[in-house]
Amino acid sequence: MDEQLKSELRRQGVVATSLQELYNWGRKSSIWPLNFGLACCAIEMIATTMARYDLARFGAEVFRPSPRQADLMIVAGTVTKKMAPQVVRLYNQMAEPKYVISMGACAISGGPFKQGYNVLKGIDRYIPVDVFIPGCPPRPEALLDAFLMLQRKIDEQQLTGPARPRHLQAEQPSEFSVPQYSEHDLVPTRNDAVWHAPLVNISNAGTNESGRD
Amino acid sequence: MSVLTEVSIDTISQPANDHLHGDLLEISMGPHHPSTHGVFRMNIVLDGERVVKLKPVFGYLHRNHEKIAEHETYLGSMPYTDRLDYICSITNNWAYALAVEKLAGIPVPERAEYLRVITGELTRLQNHAGLIGFLLQDMGASGTPLMYAFREREKILDLFEALTGARMMCNYMRFGGCRRDLPSGWMEHAQKVVDGFPRFLDEFERLLRTNEILMARTQGVGIVTREQAINAGISGPMARASGVNYDLRKVDKYGIYDRFSFRVPLGEHGDVYDRYMMRLLEMRESLDILKQAMRDLPSGPIMDPNTKIRNFRPKAGEAYGRIESPKGELGFYLISDGGPNPYRYRVRPPSLINLTLLEQMCLGHNVSDVVIILGSVDIVLGEVDR
Amino acid sequence: MNLEEIKSQIEANVPGCSLEIIPNASPSGQHSLLVDPEHALTVGSFLRDGASPRFDYCSNVTGVDWPLKETTAKQKTKKIVDGVEKEVEEAVKTSTGDYLEVVYHLFSLEDRQGPLVLRMRTGDRAERVHLPSLTPVWRSAEFQEREVYDLFGIVFDGHPDLRRLLMWEEFTDHPMRKDYVDPDDYEYEPTAHDEVLKRTQAHYAAQETPSGAEEAR
């Protein structure tokens, strides 16, 4: 529909919309996050829901303790190898459509604790992530920004065609394999269906040359 | 006297002829649970609603702080201490700085000591305020007390941000002093926050001190006696709620705590209510200390000029330094072999050791009481698992 | 509080135990007492109940790994070589370590004294790693000894519930030991440097068909 006509009609008190817009508007305005904190970032996440930053303005203050009722998992903090299977299992238990915000340096890559033997080097090795927020911990404003980014992402989704999101494609998986504890490490150490090592030429690392080709 | 209470599931007898008596139910509470204050897990065996066995499971936030510190320089570990008990970063810095100062014999200038007391007590205020908010949330007072508590916490975090550049991860202390002096106008702002804080406490106490539901839920629940507390190494407000008169600010008089007059509140019953009240009373004493420290703050340097920041290599030896953190006795045990990294770096986590008696406190109570007993211990998983 | 005094108190009350004072050169001046494992439990009970001051509060339990360390120092000695006295340099080998150690920090609540630092050492780092648990004396050691068992592999005899504390049950290593090798999961390092760079390069060298390197070409 012509945008100009639409705004003209709106001024007359007539709201014209498409099913896709209505559907996306409904979903983006009521993202219910999972009540799920891991570490330091969780405190900033709680601060975001409190009176000062007031996440309720974006329709997302209803933190659900059960993954069955939640749309969004905020991975707020360091994911240890001991915790990683539980995180993946919680993600699998969430109903589609579901989104993941990877909050803070630890959830992205292991952050300052990257060299720890029990620290997972990024939750995106096991589950797909929609928005990454850098910071240690990110400020509440950064989390709000990630929220708005996720809302834009939902707003742009097509309901039909090849570019439609995962939950509308029957052949796409909605569950991912849960890693198992083993004698020295998790098995497997990554899910190759989700994560590929980025193209980095390690032989250039440590020199002034850029690591990327 | 044996202080170990061993409950094995085989020894819990079930009445044979009681057909109303059901089977025991084993549940795993956590690591994802809204009331476990992070990724803590308890394996609980229930007889109806009653807890007959409880085993805590740790390690879901074990991020290898001690191992990483062995590969870091002494100063390089300072930002990591922020992330131990991530609600009280400044007191963690302080404990670590104190241990290194003991190890290397570094003096601290007077103004820095005052700044440490001021920031440390502000940290205690925001920790205790947050804790009672969370505790009441666990009790079912959904939202409101926590909102009140976070309102006050944000005011203190603003002060931290103005002083150190970060809301939570302050990284403020250095060996032999503090990193940065007060920015202009900070003291007036802090004075306002400190002067306004009693209003919050009064409001909170008026609402909840003698609230009937609160008293019914907390009094007589999760009792720890004085002897048990000492033997189990319980420290901090939790030990004092059981009547153990042991506050490191009075005992060790580290820093300049001998210059301030303040009282150490003690509990009589050692139950959840006493632990809750202990936090409220300690906040009042912290405000007293803050008032005195802010009044007497001298001018002068904030770092010992002879301290080496780079190439800091303490002589071979070891030291154990401890402070009264808001959670209890936070200690750092360092072994140096003369190199730039500590040979062994150990954190004595008050949160972990305060959980020693968790099973004993919960036995015989309802599963809903487990949540508030755990809440009253005041744990932060970053410190429990390190 | 005088460590010598406490040592003689223990020696008078716990017959047969052997104690040694380990001096500490740092300005903290916290010297420690090495206790033989056979009598550690009796020494612990005596310190808790009979000593003066009574050490009723065990604050901290730490594991320390001391792998075998051989140092060769050159020493000049005077020797008579062919009837003439000469100064000869000789390499003297000394080896230290090869044991695991557990350190207890005790305090007295009543007399507000401490810390009294107790140490115990295992026979070696592989087979003889048993030490008596002091949890029956101080309950506060319960979780901390489990942690030491988990991360260092010291087996505490007499511990009521000796399981891994932090790592999962299937885990077989003891990661806080100095010779522990991390799992090799350095597939992606955007800004590798120093230690991490070495590990990353080792990771790609270890793979026969390096997936990351192949993609990079």
Query: Does residue C192 contact residue A205 with C-beta atoms inside 8 Å?
Result: yes
For residue B383, the SS3 value is: helix
For residue C7, the SS3 value is: helix
Distance from C-alpha of B17 to C-alpha of C144, rounded to nearest angstrom: 43
Distance from C-alpha of C61 to C-alpha of C81, rounded to nearest angstrom: 54
Alpha-carbon distances of B360 from B44, B222, B228, B238, B334, rounded to whole Å: 12, 8, 10, 15, 32
Per DSSP, what are the bridge partners of residue B364?
none
Distance of alpha carbon C39 from the chain centroid: 19
Distance from C-alpha of A96 to C-alpha of A166, rounded to nearest angstrom: 9
Answer yes or no: do A199 and C215 touch at CB < 8 A: yes
pLDDT band at B4 (very low <50, low <70, confident <90, very high): very low
CATH 3.40.50.12280 location in chain A: 31-158
Query: Does residue C26 contact residue B319 with C-beta atoms inside 8 Å?
Result: yes
**Which residues of chain A approach chain B closer than 8 Å at the C-beta?**
35-40, 42-44, 46-47, 50-52, 63, 65, 67, 77-78, 80, 82-83, 86, 90, 106, 112-113, 115-119, 136-137, 139
Sorted by sequence, the CB contacts under 8 Å of residue C209 that are 6+ apart come out as none
* Residues present in chain A in total: 213
Give pLDDT, residue C207: 66
Q: Which two tokens stand for residue B232?
A: 């189990």
- Which of A115, A183, A200 shows the shortest C-beta gap to C190? A200
Among the ranges given (A103-117, B364-378, C85-99, C110-124), the one the predictor scored with the smallest mean pLDDT: C85-99
The separation between the first and the last C-alpha atoms of chain A, rounded to the nearest angstrom, is 44
CATH 3.30.70.1140 fits A31-158, yes or no: no
What is the residue-level pLDDT of chain A in tens, covering all 213 positions?
788 888 888 898 888 888 888 888 888 888 889 888 888 888 899 899 888 898 888 888 888 888 899 989 999 889 999 999 999 999 999 988 899 999 999 898 888 888 888 898 889 889 999 999 998 889 999 999 999 999 999 988 888 888 888 888 888 888 888 998 988 888 888 888 888 777 665 555 555 554 444
Answer yes or no: do A183 and C170 touch at CB < 8 A: yes
Q: Please give the residue of chain C at the shortest CA–CA distance from B235.
A: C59
Distance from C-alpha of B290 to C-alpha of B299, rounded to nearest angstrom: 17
Q: Which two tokens stand for residue B106?
A: 């570094």
The separation between the first and the last C-alpha atoms of chain C, rounded to the nearest angstrom, is 68
Residues of A in contact with C169 (CB under 8 A): 181
Distance from C-alpha of B347 to C-alpha of B67, rounded to nearest angstrom: 11
Distance from C-alpha of B200 to C-alpha of B209, rounded to nearest angstrom: 13
Alpha-carbon distances of B151 from A46, B197, C202, rounded to whole Å: 12, 11, 50
Tell me what the mean pLDDT of segment C181-207 comes to. 75
Q: How far is C45 from chain B (nearest CA, A)?
A: 11
Q: Does B379 touch chain A (CB under 8 A)?
A: no
Please, what's the b/e burial string for B317-343 (b: 16 or more CB within 10 A of its CB; e: otherwise)?
A: bbbbbbbbbbbbbbbbbbbbeeeebbb
Extended beta strands in chain C, E state? 19-22, 32-35, 57-66, 69-81, 84-96, 99-108, 113-121, 130-132, 155-157
pLDDT band at C210 (very low <50, low <70, confident <90, very high): very low
Domain ranges of chain C: 3-65+99-178, 182-217
- Which of C185, C190, C197 shows the shortest C-beta gap to A185? C185
Tell me what the mean pLDDT of segment B172-196 comes to. 90
Q: Does B11 touch chain C (CB under 8 A)?
A: no
Residues of C in contact with A192 (CB under 8 A): none
Q: What is the CA radius of gyration of chain B?
A: 22
Answer yes or no: do C213 and A197 touch at CB < 8 A: no
Query: Does residue B359 contact residue A17 with C-beta atoms inside 8 Å?
Result: no
Q: Does B148 touch chain C (CB under 8 A)?
A: no
Q: What is the mean pLDDT of chain B?
A: 87
Q: How far is A210 from chain B (nearest CA, A)?
A: 26
Strands B25-29 and B41-47: antiparallel
Q: What region, left, alpha or beta, does residue A202 occupy, with left being phi > 0 and alpha being psi -120 to 50 degrees?
A: alpha
Distance from C-alpha of C99 to C-alpha of B47, rounded to nearest angstrom: 46
Angle at B286 (CA atoms; ends B285, B292), nearest 5 degrees: 95
Answer yes or no: do B356 and C143 touch at CB < 8 A: yes
Nearest C-alpha neighbor of C203 from the set A200, A187, A113:
A200
Percent of chain B residues topping a pLDDT of 90: 36
User: Residue B253 above 90 pLDDT?
Assistant: no
Residue with tokens 């007036």: B188
Distance of alpha carbon C1 from the chain centroid: 25
Answer yes or no: do B103 and C30 touch at CB < 8 A: no
Distance from C-alpha of C154 to C-alpha of A126, rounded to nearest angstrom: 34
Give pLDDT, residue B162: 92
Angle at B88 (CA atoms; ends B322, B105), nearest 5 degrees: 30
For residue C1, the SS3 value is: coil
Q: Please give the residue of chain B at the shortest CA–CA distance from C150.
A: B59
Nearest C-alpha neighbor of B128 from the set B355, B357, B282, B354:
B282
* Residues present in chain B in total: 386
Q: What is the mean pLDDT of chain C?
A: 83
User: Residue B95 above 90 pLDDT?
Assistant: yes
* Residues present in chain C in total: 217
Nearest C-alpha neighbor of C98 from the set C129, C119, C73:
C129
Q: Does A201 touch chain C (CB under 8 A)?
A: yes
- Partners for B (CB, 8 Å, 3+ pairs)? A, C
Answer yes or no: do B86 and A43 touch at CB < 8 A: yes
- Which of A117, A199, A203 shows the shortest C-beta gap to C182? A117
Q: Which two tokens stand for residue A51?
A: 């009176």
Query: Does residue B215 contact residue B273 with C-beta atoms inside 8 Å?
Result: yes
Q: Does C173 touch chain A (CB under 8 A)?
A: yes
Query: Does residue C170 contact residue A183 with C-beta atoms inside 8 Å?
Result: yes
Number of Cβ within a 10 Å radius of residue C36: 14
- Which of A39, A112, A115 shows the shortest C-beta gap to B382? A39
Residues of A in contact with C196 (CB under 8 A): 114-115
Sorted by sequence, the CB contacts under 8 Å of residue B359 that are 6+ apart come out as B5, B7, B53, B54, B55, B56
Distance from C-alpha of A87 to C-alpha of A79, rounded to nearest angstrom: 8
The separation between the first and the last C-alpha atoms of chain B, rounded to the nearest angstrom, is 33
Distance from C-alpha of C205 to C-alpha of A124, rounded to nearest angstrom: 24
Q: Please give the residue of chain C at the shortest CA–CA distance from A117.
A: C182
Which CATH number does the domain C3-65+99-178 belong to among 3.40.50.10320, 3.30.460.80, 3.40.630.30, 3.30.300.30?
Answer: 3.30.460.80
Query: Does residue B332 contact residue B99 with C-beta atoms inside 8 Å?
Result: yes
Give pLDDT, residue B3: 41
Distance from C-alpha of B376 to C-alpha of C137, rounded to nearest angstrom: 26
Please give the order of strands across the beta sheet that includes B317-325: B317-325, B328-336, B344-348
Distance from C-alpha of B145 to C-alpha of B129, rounded to nearest angstrom: 10
Alpha-carbon distances of A146 from A55, A87, A129, A134, B3, rounded to whole Å: 12, 20, 12, 10, 51
Residue with tokens 């915000």: A101
Residue with tokens 């992530």: A129
Give pLDDT, residue B124: 93
